[in-house]
Structure 1
Amino acid sequence: MLNGTETSIAMAARQKDSLGCLSNQLHKDLELHTGEFAFYRKCRRHDKTSEVVTPASDRGFLIGVSLTAGHRRQIFSGNRSASHDFEKDSVYIRNFTDDYRADLHGAFDFVLVELSRAFITNTCYERNGTVIDGFASPLGRKDPIFGHLAQVLALTLDSQNEASPLFVEQLGVTISTHLIDKYGTAPARSDKKNPRLSTLHETRAKDMLLAKAEGNVSLGEIADACNLSRSYFIRAFRETTRRTPHQWLLEQRVERARELLAHSDSSLSDIAIACGFSDQSHFTRTFSQLVGTPPGTWRRQTRA
């Protein structure tokens, strides 16, 4: 039997990062969050095999580009699996709406970019009004453009304290634009109805999401309350509301913020916290995206 210290050590050894990798097996583990993007570099030099598991969520999409050759990945889907070999400049895309499980074989060095579904939707609308519902998965396919961008991103992550936030933001926009143009897929036409929430489940889910600002309820708990799997719930919620749970919740928080901006003298930082945003910067960025003007400007215009 393990004592308390041994248990803590064992848990630390099994600790996984936000992408499902075992943190203690990574020789390089870099992250940079800015604006609409999260950038990562994950590098492992040994030839061990490890497992990556992430449950379905509404985080959006992840694109990974291999900086080196020699990595093999076995990806599981239900009772089936497929192996993919990665060369330098090979690409893969993950949709966080799906459960993901894979065995990683051998050393690897990846740079990755995570972008939200809301950013993809807004970018498509602003550029040409098109709609995409996902990406054609180029598992293991080489993409020289992503390869060059990955090299720049790797150097940027290695010296991120010296990187210009504007440069990093534009690098994310460039990567996502190429992703949309080359791999974006239009919604499939089908006579089969997409999953939708019942009125009862929709009301229950929205009530629990609104309570999330005051607690730590997870999408898994909401799905369980509706007697649905997490991945089915996320798809059904999006089909019912035309929003992911996260998008819907942000819109409710912004609507609450508008009420406070119009009818109270609270500071922007106090309103940000009262409405469930992590800080004033997050509040200002989200409000500006959804409303079209920063909250301070909107307040002045409303009260003029």
Structure 2
Amino acid sequence: MQSDLEYSRNYVEQFKADSVSQLVTRSPQSARLLVSRLRRDTGGHGLTTLPPGDAVFSVVLQLREQKERELFLDNHCVHRGSYAERTTSVVNHLELPRANLISPFDCLIFTVPQSALNEIADEARVGRIDHLHCPPGGVLDEKVWHLGSSLLPALQRPHEVNSMYAEYVMLAAYIYFAQTFGGVRPGKERADTLAPWLKRAMDAMEAQMDTDVSLKMLAEASGLSVRHFIRAFTASTGEAPHRWMLRHRVERAKDLLTGTQATLAEVAISCGFADQSHLTRVFKTFVGVSPAVWKHMVRH
């Protein structure tokens, strides 16, 4: 079986990009969820052929305008022209897509395997999704743009990405693709919340504040599916699980900054941040100032 690294590289090698960054995580049932950012600053790439194999779809989000490009399916040109910034397009690998990349490009490519779509359909208790439909020239979809944009910091600093955040955003993106391009109707929200499981979930998160906790682990501990866990936790607390975790890590950092002689680097590691700079960025997001400034303010 391919490693995650081999799997990821398989979908980008043919693009001859100047810059490649990737994020791969797993669905609740272990299907791979992959997003890749590819950038090439010079034109004239030429024809590229996506790797064959099982049913796989590529959902492509343009981060800047691609002025000239041609798309071929089964050797027939189905689109010739530009792709505007924010345009989303979809190709089915079983249709043998080939792209003539004439202009420079900067895009996100979500690699969506049939296995991931099957999982989404099964949980929604609807028929299997056998195709994602999108016009060859693409569409402007603000939700896809928002989801893609929220992943850019993670792609720039992958060492700072925790499993909970990666699972949350990637699963949200794949579910949206299934609904928007696959025709799956959103399921009705369940009226109940975590109730008896909420404290157990919070206790587990607080006990592992310095480790990388996955949504799947928390959901299993609560006896819920990942999707229901996310909905119920958010309904109960007003925050998505990864956001709740970050806020409590910041609160723990405050306690350590005022109650111990630990350095910022030591505080960062103790609270589950990748390093001091990661702590500083997140701390400023929640508090408005850096840890050092905050510590000086509370002591004076």
Report the TM-score, using the length of structure 1 for normalisation: 0.52
Alignment correspondent of 1:28: 19
Match status 1:43 vs 2:75: no
Give the one of 35, 42, 50 matched to 1:54: 50
Shift in Å, 1:143: 1.0
Q: Give yes or no for contact 2:19–2:38 (8 Å, CA) kept in 1.
A: yes
Distance 1:160 1:63 in 2: 21
Alignment correspondent of 1:18: 10
Give the one of 98, 101, 104 matched to 2:101: 104
Cα distance, 1:160–1:181 mapped onto 2, change above 3 Å: same
Alignment correspondent of 1:183: 181
Shift in Å, 1:21: 5.0
Q: Give yes or no for contact 1:50–1:104 (8 Å, CA) kept in 2.
A: yes
SS at match of 1:181: helix
Cα deviation digits, residues 141-190 of structure 1 (max 9, x gap) = 1111111111111221111110111111111111111111111158xxxx
Alignment correspondent of 1:89: 86
Amino acid at match of 1:173: L
Distance 1:78 1:95 in 2: 11
Alignment correspondent of 1:134: 131
Shift in Å, 1:60: 2.1
Distance 1:89 1:127 in 2: 29
Shift in Å, 1:137: 2.1
Cα distance, 1:86–1:101 mapped onto 2, change above 3 Å: same
SS at match of 1:184: coil
Distance 2:51 2:35 in 1: 20
Cα distance, 1:164–1:71 mapped onto 2, change above 3 Å: farther
RMSD: 2.7
Q: Give yes or no for contact 1:31–1:40 (8 Å, CA) kept in 2.
A: yes
Cα distance, 1:156–1:57 mapped onto 2, change above 3 Å: same
Cα deviation digits, residues 51-70 of structure 1 (max 9, x gap) = 11135310522211111113
Which stretch shifts more, 113-122 or 78-87? 78-87
Cα deviation digits, residues 202-227 of structure 1 (max 9, x gap) = xxxxxxxxxxxxxxxxxxxxxxxxxx
Gaps of 5+ in 2: 1-8, 27-31, 185-216, 221-300
SS at match of 2:95: coil
SS at match of 2:168: helix
Cα deviation digits, residues 106-136 of structure 1 (max 9, x gap) = 1111112112211111111212323321111
Number of positions where the alignment pairs a residue of Structure 1 with one of Structure 2: 174
- Identical-residue share of aligned pairs (%): 18
